[in-house]
Structure 1
């Protein structure tokens, strides 16, 4: 069986080859321009998935729509830019013993690799007098995360010669995989979403306004990989659409395996789910804005091509580890259902998993029509595939030197990345917006350490009319 991790490898290499970028989730160009700071900034349909209560705020467009907003990236907190380039451009180069030890040290990190891609083909919002504001979007997103403890990194690059194996290694008394790999995570989540959100003003006083909002999304699960070992507990399962072209071998003939065959359809989901967002947004006086929301409440049910693994004792590997910069094949072998695998998988009928729930909180200051500032904190509420690996902090600034030009910047940290210095430019008239941005200019230009950057763009964001008090 070619395990699903190999698909993550291909995805990673493909993205790295196209653009050396990295970012957290929800990559519309205006949010990326502030490094991910969004809770008090976003309006109309861009509030979907962030804070639906902003749909009820003052100043939203009566009708807003977009065709095509897109962002993608990849970044690492432990690898260097030259190492990443070798994985892409020199994958066949052989590794010396010294190279293997160096890479084992570099891969010992809770943020070896983070990838985020999302696209919004179409979205719109409309404000209806008295009733409130509604928004809809179609969105596709891919989120992945790779972390390794010392044992995992050494098993990958040194194989049977890893220090975890003593000279008198005995499989009968070997430690459990959950203990050996504690702190390791190999995760991928790919979703196709249809979002609906509603927001409305709840309280309207001269110096205080409060809005509330709710969101719902129907989710088609295109694929998931979730292999985690944490605090003595092992989580290991995968379910991938036939479009990933996985060859399951003999396991495909198991009557317990719900094999989904490729039918050449545009989309063949292997899971389905329902998600919910809740939010509040306050405006205090003319300048102060506050916001809080909980997003991605709910769960997924994975059914097609589903494989799971339980905790097992450590097995002695046969290989000597990675012998070239194409390390993904060895990583796949370590977790595949083969003779040299750390885990043995079995088919499963169904698996229920939580969505990547997050708590968002923000405070903003709007100074006239030319300057707006905001502080954001986003806290992951679980560790499932698709969630950010740690807390996000950010400061964002929008300034309009001219009425039709918006410049954005700020500083951000967390969510699996280091300190970012975002930059964005947009032509933003009262009717039309286009823009592009990067979440970290320094990481994009960095020669070596912690390569990190991002790219997001949108060229057709239209706004018609404006809601007034």
Structure 2
């Protein structure tokens, strides 16, 4: 996989659950862990469109625009901060085209042991552009363009060993080596020299297992989408000072750059794969079996699927200070019709690919899909994948002349097995305080199931009476202080304007 083709990596460079991405790239909400009743401009798209009817919250300002809002999260319920740092460094070095010089055969073996059975999530969100107009009579309308990258993997011990060590995996009982043009077969033992390991060209097993037996208990859920979002919200009836009901509707056109869905359990193995040619995966002869295979040129990745999502929401404002809201988001699907492959459950007797050269688990796509890798793919015409839809319920209260705003969120997936979905329901509480008009400090808590315990924090500077905003936040402050923290994250924005 060529580094220049990792287009999403540009987002890492500008920065510098599994993890729960429940606030998209809205850095102002990430720092408090709650979003449903805290966002009210283009940032509320895909969260609670009815909030567009609430107004901007700043007197005399009806337009909001923003760009370059970024959020990154990497987390695991079992890996500690040091191992997560290694994973982050590997991803960053790959994007920056730097070598991982110290990742030798022993490091491959150690990484395989570390990652076995360990859940890992990587999430990247970037807002290219967002804009909204909000008026008391008209309501509010908003658009945005967002990039969303979501990876979740949990692999059994044998699959992890094959991915990280490739043809040297302990699964293979013999190795084929090539020295000075001659090939020979030797046993795969622990005491082989570095020179011998470097000469290995393939690994073989005399009594091969079915692919479904090797991977049993493993899953990968990966999706990389670009969303063109729109939404409208307004007051339906009532007065904010007593009781007011708001409604919202929205949606998005989705271009998908990549989707990979592997699920292996007692009933067998299922794989659906559609990955942009930008990833430079060499399918070899398998590419000839796909009626949808092709090539790509240029810097921007070409889409392999298109689809849509629909959002519906409602909210109420009570006594001018209490807000309650509920929404369902991203109901729809994506049709994949380029680079589309499924898997054949066959005996795996040989592998020619080398192991990974760093601890970037997303490189598993190469180990799995390329010719000579673990999977035996076959081409398909197209398939339809349901979106990772979710349900949200939130509430909040403003106090002390709106200087303090606290609330809660509950976000649950419709189906956790869809690529990009949350793995379980998440409960969060949090809020913000404005000791002075130009400063907003936020904090909160979220967790549940595989998402462990996280303490988000953030700071936002609101200048010129709301004219300009800049801020930074993190989904988990514990990662800065605890050695056994299970996450690394950051989010920021520096170009939000109102007028």
- What's the TM-score, normalizing by structure 1? 0.83
Please say if 1:441 is aligned against 2:477: yes
Alignment deviations for residues 246-282 of structure 1 (CA, whole Å, 9 cap, x no partner) = 333333344x431232232635211100111111111
CA contact (8 A) 2:222 2:261 kept: yes
- Counterparts of 2:9 and 2:451 in 1: how far apart (Å)? 16
Asked if the contact 1:69–1:459 (Cα under 8 Å) also holds between the matched residues in 2, the reply is yes
Q: CA deviation at 1:411?
A: 1.0
Unaligned 5+ runs, structure 1: 465-469
Summarize deviations over 1:210-258 as a string: whole Å, max 9, x none.
111011101111111111225625331221223223333333344x431
Match of 1:109, SS state, is coil
Residue deviations 1:168-187, cap 9 Å, x none? 9855xx5x644653442223
**Is the 1:259–1:304 contact (alpha carbons within 8 Å) kept by the matching residues of 2?**
yes
Report deviation, 1:127. 2.3
Matches of 1:432 and 1:18, distance apart in 2:
21
Please point out which of 365, 368, 372 is paired with 2:397. Answer: 365
CA distance in 1, matches of 2:366, 2:252: 36
Aligned ranges 1:130-149 → 2 under 5 Å: 130-149=137-156
Check 1:27–1:230 CA distance in 2 against 1; reply closer, same or farther (3 A cut).
farther
Tell me the distance in 1 between the aligned counterparts of 2:84 and 2:10.
Answer: 9
2:220 paired residue among 183, 186, 190: 186
Q: How does 1:373-412 map to 2 (within 5 A)?
A: 373-382=406-415, 383-412=417-446
Counterpart CA distance in 2 for 1:202 and 1:10 is 43
**Separation in structure 1 between the aligned mates of residue 486 and residue 328 of structure 2, nearest angstrom:** 31
Q: Does the 8 Å CA contact 2:70/2:493 hold for their aligned counterparts?
A: yes
Unmatched runs of 5 consecutive residues or more in structure 2? 91-98, 174-204
CA distance change for structure 1 residues 12 and 445 in 2, over 3 Å: closer, same or farther?
A: farther
Match of 1:161 among 139, 147, 170: 170
Equivalent in the alignment of 1:121: 128
Q: Give SS of 1:390's match.
A: coil
Task: Report deviation, 1:409.
Answer: 0.5
Give the secondary structure class of the aligned counterpart of 1:54.
Answer: helix
Aligned mate of 2:331, from 285, 297, 300: 297
| Partner deviation per Cα, 1:123-175 (whole Å, 9 max, x = no partner) | 111124533211111111111111123443355467763599xxx9855xx5x
Q: What is residue 32 of structure 1 aligned with on the other side? A: 30
How big is each residue's C-alpha offset from its partner over 1:37-73, in whole Å with a ceiling of 9 and x where there is no partner?
1011111111101010111226645221113212223
C-alpha change, 1:416 and 1:119, in structure 2 (3 Å) is: farther
Aligned to 1:423: 457
The root-mean-square deviation of aligned C-alpha atoms, in Å, is 3.5
Is 1:224 matched with 2:259?
yes
Tell me which of 37, 42, 45 is aligned to 1:45: 42
For residue 296 of structure 2, what is the aligned residue in structure 1?
Answer: 262
Deviation at 1:204, TM superposition (A): 0.7
Q: 1:239 to 1:107 in 2, by over 3 A?
A: same
- Confirm or deny: 8 A CA contact 1:380 1:391 kept in the other structure: yes
* Matching residue of 2:75: 75
2:378 maps to 1:346: yes
Other-structure match for 2:53? 56
The CA distance in 1 between the partners of 2:10 and 2:129, in whole Å, is 28
* Higher alpha-carbon deviation: 200-209 or 136-145: 200-209
Distance 1:426 1:272, change over 3 A: same
| Mean Cα deviation higher: 135-144 or 385-394 | 385-394
Q: Whole-Å Cα distance in 2 between the matches of residues 260 and 315 of structure 1?
A: 27
Aligned CA distance change for structure 1 residues 16 and 49 (closer, same or farther; 3 Å): same
Of 113-122 and 81-90, deviating more is 81-90
Question: Relative to structure 1, is the Cα distance of residues 18 and 65 closer, same or farther in structure 2, using a 3 angstrom cutoff?
Answer: closer
Q: Residue 10 of structure 1: CA displacement?
A: 10
**Are residue 452 (structure 1) and residue 460 (structure 2) matched?**
no
- Render the CA deviation track for 1:380-411: whole Å, top value 9, x for unaligned: 11221122222222111110010111000111
Q: SS state of the match for residue 488, structure 2?
A: coil
Give TM-score scaled by structure 2 length. Answer: 0.79
Tell me if structure 2 keeps the 8 A contact 1:366–1:373.
yes
- Figure out how many residues of one structure are paired with residues of the other and give that number: 447
Q: Alpha carbons of 1:230 and 1:281: their partners in 2 closer, same or farther (altered >3 Å)?
A: farther
**1:81 & 1:17 partners in 2: Cα distance?**
22
Give the 3 Å change call, closer, same or farther, for CA 144–16 of structure 1 in structure 2: farther
**More off after superposition, 140-149 vs 240-249:** 240-249
Alpha carbons 1:57, 1:281 under 8 Å: kept: no
State the match for 1:467 in structure 2.
Answer: none
